[in-house]
């Protein structure tokens, strides 16, 4: 007996919700649970009658996903790493498409199918990377800033890919790329970009004005309806140009981002986006042929490993070439190996545009999901893997060790630094720079260990003693004269690096005083057990400062304030 559309939808949403909650419980992005739900449901839930309606809902998910991406998009997110993010991401996408196409054809796919798949595989997951960096408190670290900037450029690359790939596919599938068809493709693509540019130019002045007038009516409902109308109009216009409706939604997001109502619109539309996006990700697996994953498991795993390795090598090489430390390059390389959520969007556009087959669609979705499942635990283990590779190469391949890990570091270690009773400051980020400023004001000698070359160069220009290198390396700490230092301050958030700095510092000087930052309560006792003199938690210190000011505001006496703060400290230490 066929099930009703509502029952079909209820099963999809409930399964996605349960698996999303499980992923959240184990501190993984819920989107992984939604994807797994789709694959599980594909084994039991097939219905041609209801597929059309669910496909429509998931199509709305793509539209809202691209719309909110347009609203959130900002070149300001590139920050200080705009140079490496723009150059690196563009070169990485192009080289991944090139080498990916060559390798994928070796798996028996046609040239265009391989090119389409390589294009989808060239993108990484903004949602997964940002979630992991936020959980680890590393959004503002150098590798975190590079990855976020890189992903911003990749997200923007979705737009030309969604325009070019379907047009290219139609030309190749209709008889191959002749010089005439190539010119026609170039003409249509150029026309599409010009038309989109015209829409953007006109809308940039018109849309903010319209939203301002509607916002003046003081009606949330009318503002939400007007935004929905703008998105639909933009989607219809791009469809008339022969492009995807999702591109129109992205452009509408860019236009609304220019208005002063952007934040209000985003807060209203986000719940709808999240619901329809969940349906989109959960229904990806339902289009797969019966038994697809089990029948092609070896191909899926092999292709996943090949693509992830290619992306890692390309990103690692680019970041190294652009002058960053080996550790930064390694972390960024691992962080971008996964295939992003927009690969699913491209795959769906290709399938419904009849430029790729169901098998090719299934391969894109399966490989992307495999990479998303592999990346998070691998990224969390990256500092340990980097240390293991560094130490292994030091013993087995000294030339590789010198060239890759220490070539710049060793050039600066020509003579012993004339320092004694100083402070070794590991990391010069948000915390480290203020510690350094305080030491400088107090005329206390200190030395910075920093593996961000730009920061190290800037510190040298300010005549602040600095060693460029990985603070987890005992040779770097030895050169920083830890054995003659008064104290070591660890202002780096990564736990594994903290552990190595503590152990290596105590190896060089057993009674060294160590102050260490930590964002997690559960890490405090472990760090103290390693021998840290005092663990400082920025969030707790901020709460103490806010509490002190609030008590002053309510005229609590200084004596009572100190008593309350002492009680708060005791509670914190007990926890």
Contact 220, 271 (CB under 8 A): no
* Residue the block writes with tokens 């190996």: 337
Q: Higher confidence at residue 179 or residue 478? A: 478
Give the length of the chain. Answer: 575
d(CA 346, CA 93): 15
Question: Looking at the predicted structure, is the pLDDT value of residue 200 above 80?
Answer: no
Read off the pLDDT band of 123 (50, 70, 90): very high
Mean pLDDT score, 557-573? 82
What structural domains does the chain harbor? 75-263+297-380 (1.20.1530.20), 414-574 (3.40.50.720)
Strand order in the sheet with 513-517: 466-468, 446-450, 423-426, 487-490, 513-517, 534-536
Q: For 27-41, 165-179, 420-434, which range has the lowest pLDDT when averaged over its residues?
A: 165-179
Contact 296, 283 (CB under 8 A): no
Give the pair of three-digit tokens for residue 331: 């972390």
Question: Looking at the predicted structure, is the pLDDT value of residue 372 above 80?
Answer: yes
- Alpha-carbon dihedral of residues 392, 395, 399, 401, nearest 10 degrees? 40
pLDDT score of 413: 46
Question: Looking at the predicted structure, is the pLDDT value of residue 50 above 60?
Answer: no
d(CA 118, CA 116): 6
Residue 294 region by backbone torsions, left for phi larger than 0, else alpha for psi between -120 and 50, else beta: alpha
DSSP secondary structure code for residue 472 in this structure = T
In the beta sheet, which residues pair with residue 514?
488
pLDDT score of 315: 94
In the beta sheet, which residues pair with residue 487?
423, 513
Read off the pLDDT band of 573 (50, 70, 90): low
In the beta sheet, which residues pair with residue 488?
424, 514
pLDDT score of 411: 47
Contact 474, 405 (CB under 8 A): no
Mean pLDDT score, 64-91? 75
Q: What is the per-residue pLDDT across 242-291, written as a single tens digit (0 to 9) for each?
A: 666 777 777 777 777 767 666 777 777 777 777 777 877 777 777 677 77
| Predicted TM-score (pTM) of this structure | 0.73
Phi, psi dihedral angles at 431 (to 5 degrees): -85, -50
Average pLDDT for the chain: 80
Phi, psi dihedral angles at 166 (to 5 degrees): -60, -40
pLDDT score of 279: 78
Q: What is the per-residue pLDDT across 323-362, written as a single tens digit (0 to 9) for each?
A: 788 888 899 999 999 998 788 878 888 887 788 888 998 8
Q: For 300-304, 418-422, 424-428, which range has the lowest pLDDT when averaged over its residues?
A: 418-422
Read off the pLDDT band of 301 (50, 70, 90): very high
Q: What is the per-residue pLDDT across 461-513, written as a single tens digit (0 to 9) for each?
A: 888 888 888 888 888 888 888 989 999 999 988 888 888 899 999 999 998 99
Give the pair of three-digit tokens for residue 157: 């690359």
pLDDT score of 257: 72
User: What distances in angstroms separate CA 304 from CA 40, 97, 379, one per listed residue?
Assistant: 20, 15, 16
pLDDT score of 53: 66
Mean pLDDT score, 380-403? 77
Q: Higher confidence at residue 202 or residue 327? A: 327
């Amino acid at each position: 007996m066929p099930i009703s559309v509502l029952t079909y939808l209820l099963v999809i949403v409930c399964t996605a919700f349960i698996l999303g909650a499980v992923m959240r419980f184990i501190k993984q992005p819920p989107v992984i649970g939604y994807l797994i739900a789709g694959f599980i449901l594909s084994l039991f839930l097939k219905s041609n009658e209801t597929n059309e309606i669910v496909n429509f809902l998931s199509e709305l998910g793509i539209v809202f996903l691209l719309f909110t991406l347009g609203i959130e998009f900002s070149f300001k997110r590139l920050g200080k790493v705009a140079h490496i993010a723009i150059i690196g991401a563009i070169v990485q996408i192009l080289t991944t498409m090139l080498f990916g196409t060559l390798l994928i054809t070796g798996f028996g796919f046609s040239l265009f199918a391989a090119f389409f798949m390589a294009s989808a595989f060239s993108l990484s997951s903004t949602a997964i990377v940002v979630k992991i960096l936020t959980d680890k408190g590393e959004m503002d670290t150098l590798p975190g800033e590079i990855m976020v900037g890189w992903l911003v450029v990749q997200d923007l690359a979705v737009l030309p890919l969604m325009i070019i790939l379907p047009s290219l596919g139609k030309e190749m599938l209709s008889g191959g790329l002749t010089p005439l068809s190539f010119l026609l493709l170039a003409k249509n693509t150029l026309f599409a970009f010009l038309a989109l540019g015209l829409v953007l130019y006109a809308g940039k002045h018109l849309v903010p004005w319209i939203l301002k007038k509607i916002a003046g009516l003081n009606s949330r409902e009318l503002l939400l309806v007007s935004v929905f109308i703008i998105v639909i109009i933009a989607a219809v216009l791009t469809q008339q140009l022969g492009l995807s409706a999702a591109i129109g939604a992205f452009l509408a997001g860019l236009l609304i981002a220019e208005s002063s109502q952007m934040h209000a619109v985003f807060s209203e539309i986000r719940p709808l986006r999240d619901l329809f996006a969940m349906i989109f990700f959960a229904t990806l697996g339902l289009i797969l042929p019966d038994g697809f994953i089990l029948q092609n498991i070896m191909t899926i795993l092999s292709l996943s490993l090949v693509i992830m390795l290619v992306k890692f090598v390309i990103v690692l090489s680019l970041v190294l070439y652009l002058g960053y430390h080996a550790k930064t390059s390694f972390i960024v390389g691992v962080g971008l190996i996964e295939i992003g959520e927009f690969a699913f969007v491209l795959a769906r556009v290709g399938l419904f545009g009849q430029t790729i087959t169901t098998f090719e669609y299934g391969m894109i979705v399966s490989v992307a999901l495999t990479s998303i499942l592999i990346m998070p635990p691998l990224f969390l283990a990256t500092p340990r893997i980097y240390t293991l590779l560094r130490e292994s190469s030091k013993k087995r391949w000294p030339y590789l060790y010198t060239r890759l890990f220490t070539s710049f570091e060793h050039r600066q270690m020509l003579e012993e630094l004339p320092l004694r009773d100083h402070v070794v400051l590991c990391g010069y980020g948000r915390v480290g720079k203020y510690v350094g400023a305080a030491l400088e004001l107090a005329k206390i000698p200190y030395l910075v260990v920093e593996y961000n070359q730009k920061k190290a160069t800037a510190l040298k220009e300010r005549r602040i003693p600095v060693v460029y290198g990985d603070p987890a390396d005992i040779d770097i700490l030895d050169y920083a004269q830890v054995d003659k230092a008064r104290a070591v301050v660890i202002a780096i958030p990564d736990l594994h690096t903290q552990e190595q700095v503590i152990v290596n510092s105590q190896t060089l000087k057993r009674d060294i005083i160590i102050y260490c930052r930590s964002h997690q309560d559960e890490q405090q006792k472990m760090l103290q057990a390693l021998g840290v003199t005092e663990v400082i938690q920025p969030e707790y210190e901020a709460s103490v400062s806010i509490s002190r000011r609030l008590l002053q505001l309510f005229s609590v006496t200084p004596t009572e304030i100190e008593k309350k703060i002492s009680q708060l400290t005791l509670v914190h230490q007990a926890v």
